[in-house]
Amino acid sequence: MIIHVVRAGDSLYSISRRYGVPIERIASDNELNVSESLVIGQTIVVMEGTRQHTVRAGESLYSIARQYGTTVAGIQAANQIANPALIMPGMVLTIPSGTDKLGTIDVNGYTFPNINMDVLRKTLPYLTFLSIFSYEVTPEGSFRTINDEPLIAAAREANVAPLMVITNLREGGGFDSDLARTILTNEQVQDTLINNVIENLRAKNYSGLDIDFEYIYPENRENYNDFLRKVVSRLRPLGYSITTALAPKIAADQPGLLYEAHDYPVHGALADHVILMTYEWGYTYGPPMAVAPINEVRKVLNYAVTAIPRRKILMGVPNYGYNWTLPYVQGSRAATISNVGAVGLARREGAEIQYDQSSQAPFFNYYDDGGKQHVVWFDDARSIEAKLRLINQYNLGGASYWTIGRFFPQNWLILSSLYDVRKVL
């Protein structure tokens, strides 16, 4: 795997020639139109495989290794070259892939029931779990049903474990703290809810449960812990897995309604997997910045690994960006944009994509037809690689995507280059 950052004058043809990979494969892998112009700063993922290189006058193993994104030692081993100085013009060298797999991980993907089924089927090979969002619980312990049967069938056909997601979302609105309190402080309602969950798990052929209760009142922290204990005691003997989604905390006593009731050590001890929602630093109503700056993600992981078994942690990865109108005014709304759509917008506006080293994220500026300036933050192959390498660096269990509804080919190219994905079915 090579990540090529487009420079002035680059084309898919020149990139193909440079790396010795057919232009048709590069276009297909990145889902690009060969006739479409490239954007300065855009990333192209080159899945090189094994290639042949004919040595030209003046070349060295070092310069050849740099050209193909591999190492001198790798070329020596692939060609049984003892002395790297003894290469001659006209020699044909085998160029090995420059990327070594880092291990096997679990990958979860959140999706809404209305996902395009072609997108779902293209994504399922890269997933361990499919979390279908969501069953919204009611104060009585029931939940609003969703059309999830086609997704469950597709997941199981691809050996992906479907997870039922329950949330304290109110109908047509956001997370409801009062609703969570009603559930978490009433034993009878909890029993009703758990019984309904088990019935639905069986009826729909789910593999496990994903609990995403957010904005819980701090005084209900122990109530939530006790509810989780009850869920685990009921579901695990039946063979179901339990996953919870947690806010991105950097300390055990972090203040704020989003954080205080999420008890990392208890969830880490009880759940099979814990999803850390490491995104939304840049968000709809907030100031412009990267959605998941790597420096901020690291702060969350630094705390998380002290409180949760590392292999239970699935690090959240966003699959979207935001387009802000400048100057930013508090309370103004940014527009959501897909990562592929962001590059298309930069092309149409003639913008050059830049890369922020601190947050490890791409962005660009442009002016709309009304003369207003915009800034767009999103993800590309570089930022995805930086995030996914954290899994290996922290020895985590894997990743969890929010959401898989928009297919981002470069993400899956990077993921499959770095890791094998575990299948549990």
Return the DSSP state at 351: P
CB 249 within 8 A of CB 261: no
Q: Return the structure tokens found at 397.
A: 């269990």
Q: Which residues contact 421 (CB under 8 A, 6 or more apart)?
A: 104, 105, 106, 107, 125, 126, 127, 128, 415
214 labelled catalytic: yes
CB 279 within 8 A of CB 320: no
**Strand pairing report for 51-54 and 104-111:** unpaired
Of the residues 31, 36, 48, 214, only one is catalytic, namely 214
Q: Return the structure tokens found at 123.
A: 């994504």
Beta bridge partners of 245: 275
Beta strands (DSSP E) in 207-352 are 208-212, 241-246, 273-276, 313-318, 321-326, 335-337
The CA-based angle 259-392-362, given to 5 degrees, is 70
**Strand pairing report for 2-5 and 161-167:** unpaired
Residue 38's nearest CA partner among 68, 67, 16, 8 is: 8
CB 62 within 8 A of CB 76: no
CB 365 within 8 A of CB 374: yes
Phi-psi region of 360 (alpha: psi -120 to 50; beta: other; left: phi over 0): left
DSSP reduced 3-state for 261: coil
| Amino acid present at 340 | V
CB 276 within 8 A of CB 305: no
Residues that are catalytic: 214
